[in-house]
Amino acid sequence: MRALDIEADKLYDDYYKFLSYPYYVKVKEMRKERNLFQRELGEMLGVGRRAVERWEGGKTTITRETWEKLKELKLL
């Protein structure tokens, strides 16, 4: 941010930092480290397997609510 003379990452909260990292890589790594199927992770988060598949493919963005649930479940 040249206008403010501040690094852009200083303006992001943790949710936006999560999204700016390839979040889809992080989600897949986290799921595989815990030996979870997409369906199982979806059940934990209250979403369907297809939602997890789309996140891992980078086709849809994880909502802040889901991100907070991931943190609450200590998956991140």
* Number of domains present in the structure of the chain: 1
- Examine residue 57 and state whether it is found in any structural domain, yes or no: yes
This prediction's pTM: 0.81
Written as six digits, the tokens of 56 are 């891992």
- Examine residue 3 and state whether it is found in any structural domain, yes or no: no
**Residue 17: its pLDDT value, please?**
86
Written as six digits, the tokens of 47 are 């979403």
Q: What is the pLDDT along the chain (76 residues), one digit of tens a residue?
A: 455 666 666 667 899 889 888 999 999 999 999 999 999 999 999 999 999 999 999 999 999 999 999 999 999 8
**Residue 1: its pLDDT value, please?**
45
Q: What is the domain extent for residue 23?
A: 8-72
